[in-house]
Structure 1
Amino acid sequence: MPAIVGAIKVNSIGNSSVMNIGDVFQIAPNSNAKTFAGAGSFNTGDGLRIYNNHSVTTTYDTDKIDSVVIGNA
């Protein structure tokens, strides 16, 4: 059954959002991300004491493409 949509106002849509107005069969957004983090990067809490004498995070990536999202419908 067709949807009847009245007036709408969209103030903003984020760059990783999906907006639909009316009928839809399937919505399947795809995204990918790569995160580099060294020792002690994701620690949370009160009064943390982290001792990293020597920490190296290797960010050299030769293949340039890790996950292809184009055409994933």
Structure 2
Amino acid sequence: MPAIVGAIKVNTIGSSGVFHVGDVFIVSPTSAIRTFAGGGSFNTGDGLNVNSNYSVTTVNDSDIADQNVVANI
């Protein structure tokens, strides 16, 4: 159905984000990521005190491809 859309303000769109206005048949955002993190990672907040005197991130990833993004239209 047609729609009347007023003013639109877009500040940011991420790498796998989708922005559409109006009719749409398929919305298909795609991303593939591999993350390795050690001790004290991904901490958020005010006034953090993180002590990681000894931290080792050991990665044994024998896969050649973890997430295949193929034929995404």
TM class by smaller structure: 0.5 to 0.7
1:17 CA displacement: 5.0
- Whether 1:54 aligns to 2:54 is yes
Give the letter for the 2:28 counterpart: A
**TM-score, normalised with respect to structure 1:** 0.56
C-alpha distance in structure 1 between counterparts of 2:46 and 2:18, whole Å:
37
Counterparts of 1:1-73 in structure 2 under 5 Å?
16=16, 18=18, 24-73=24-73
C-alpha distance in structure 2 between counterparts of 1:24 and 1:51, whole Å:
49
**TM-score, normalised with respect to structure 2:** 0.56
- Count of paired positions: 62
Residues 48 and 72 of structure 1, relative CA distance in 2, 3 Å threshold: same
Unaligned runs of at least 5 residues, structure 1: 1-12
Identity of aligned residues (%): 55
Give the letter for the 2:55 counterpart: S
Superposed CA RMSD in Å reads 2.9
Unaligned runs of at least 5 residues, structure 2: 1-12
C-alpha distance in structure 2 between counterparts of 1:46 and 1:14, whole Å:
25
